[in-house]
Structure 1
Amino acid sequence: MSYAIIGFGKIGHALAKAFARKGIEVAVASTRDPRSFAAEAAAIGPTVIPNTLAEAVKADIIFLAVRFESHPEVAQALADWNGKTIIDVMNTQAPLEELDGLPSSAFVAKGFTGARLVKGFNHLVAAVLGQDPSVHGGRRVVFLASDDSDAASEVAALAENLGFSPIKLGGLSEGGLLVHAHGTSWGQLIFKDLVKFA
């Protein structure tokens, strides 16, 4: 299984740290030349590999961590996203009427034809997401929502490998709204930093 993070801002850095802590290789990419952020990637760890967008989208599981308005540009990187699992880590200030009345992830999914989309890892601010998820003898919770239960299980397994405790919220139209940030209205689980004890 191969992994990539598209978007190398604060959230991209936080996710890369999670992979580096566990020694799991992950490609990182943005719309910039990978040489421009190679030093940043190297500072996080040797398993964080700077790459072009064209190379990064070859991964099996892809974290989408760009600014929301940039996701259509990423979607154009492949004509067909079949076989790919996309983890939507983005938040948006766009009101629902600009998203065809859909939760943001359902709106995003329309652009990535054939992909299995999971909303996740978006409810924590970067400074918290980038910390070791082992907290006081427990594990920091990440919420996952998807209309594809197999994809949700696949991402849950990855979250556990990264040291988090995944909690599935159901489909995008139900669970997705709990972690949906838009306008001045926020999902009930946004910014909830929870720890699960075994």
Structure 2
Amino acid sequence: MKIGIIGIGEIGGTLAARWSRNGHSLRVANSRGPEAARAFADGIGATATDVVGAVEEAEVVLLSMPFPAVTSLPKGLFDRAERDVVIIDTANYYPDIRDPRIAEIDAGIPESVWVSRQLGRTIFKAFNSIMFHALSNLGSPQGAPDRLALPVAGDDARGKQVVMDLVNETGFDPVDGGRLEDSWRQQPSTPAYCCDYDAARTRQGLEAAVKGRAETVRDTLWRERYMALFADKPAYADVHPRVIALNRSLNPL
């Protein structure tokens, strides 16, 4: 499969390396141009390009940038894409911590619906509800007991199946998260977000989400306690279980 990846940080870079090993044809880009992506691309057997090259002729495009960066993409970028390209959004909105406030989202529009409107294309929300350590280290073969699961939200059945197949081959059970309008159920501080659950518990978490509650949790209890976990700059592997425990405690199932 021809996959373009825009953003090769922790999440995008991990997925790029995994999918390249699985035999997909990868073009990777970041905000600084092809030369800045070349060393990474060469290391995983991919092709370094710019954002236009990542989109053209791609069957799948993964957007893995800081959330507001979607507005800095070239206008009409996806006019160059195939009509049925599958666009995956991995980003999360963290206002006042990392991101500027976006009035439409604060008023209740799901994050990925807002992204879809910026791009003028239908998209899929996936790979946003897992931490880097788990994505890199905790995948397991299909059928393994207690295999972690990831929700996928989107409106097109064919495209959703493509994304769910990619989730599966990455080492996680895909869970249907409903339509893109339902993707608020897997946004930060919801019961299905970054809790390292199996498929059954992930479905339970999606169903348990309460509209509007996650934003309050995110901006109060979660923010204070999360920042405290990183105060002494712990190693990622050490802090990961503490973050998972925090997330579960704020949304007990």
Amino acid at match of 1:83: D
Deviations 1:144-197 (A, max 9, x none): 0112233212211222233332111101222x112112xxxx222111213459
2:52 aligns with 54
Shift of residue 16 of structure 1? 1.4
Higher fraction of strand? 1
Tell whether 2:144 aligns with 1:137: yes
Mapped partners of 2:41, 2:198: distance in 1: 28
The range that moved more, 188-197 or 68-77, is 188-197
1:67 aligns with 66
1:111 aligns with 118
1:127 aligns with 133
Q: TM-score of the superposition, structure 1-length normalised?
A: 0.83
The range that moved more, 133-142 or 143-152, is 133-142
Shift of residue 50 of structure 1? 1.6
2:87 aligns with 86
Amino acid at match of 2:110: P
Mapped partners of 2:138, 2:26: distance in 1: 17
Amino acid at match of 1:116: T
Deviations 1:69-96 (A, max 9, x none): 1102226252635422210100111467
Unaligned runs of 5+ in 1: none
| Count of residues paired in the alignment | 189
Mapped partners of 1:144, 1:195: distance in 2: 14
Shift of residue 24 of structure 1? 2.2
Tell whether 2:28 aligns with 1:28: yes
Mapped partners of 1:25, 1:56: distance in 2: 11
Contact 1:53 1:77 in 2 (8 A): no
CA separation of 1:161/1:23 partners in 2, compared to 1, >3 Å: closer, same or farther?
Answer: same
Contact 2:16 2:26 in 1 (8 A): yes
Q: State the SS of the aligned residue for 2:65.
A: coil
Shift of residue 25 of structure 1? 2.2
Shift of residue 68 of structure 1? 0.9
C-alpha root-mean-square deviation of aligned residues, in Å? Answer: 2.4
1:153 aligns with 161
Of residues 163, 172, 178 in structure 1, which corresponds to 2:185? 178
Mapped partners of 1:146, 1:75: distance in 2: 24
Q: TM-score of the superposition, structure 2-length normalised?
A: 0.67
Unaligned runs of 5+ in 2: 96-100, 201-253
Tell whether 2:191 aligns with 1:188: yes
Q: State the SS of the aligned residue for 1:190.
A: coil
Shift of residue 10 of structure 1? 1.4
The structure with the largest alpha-carbon Rg is 2
Identity across matched positions, percent: 26
Contact 1:61 1:85 in 2 (8 A): yes
2:98 aligns with none
Higher fraction of helix? 2
Contact 2:30 2:36 in 1 (8 A): no
CA separation of 1:18/1:134 partners in 2, compared to 1, >3 Å: closer, same or farther?
Answer: same
Deviations 1:81-122 (A, max 9, x none): 542221010011146744252010001111122x33110011
Mapped partners of 1:79, 1:50: distance in 2: 19
Contact 2:28 2:37 in 1 (8 A): no
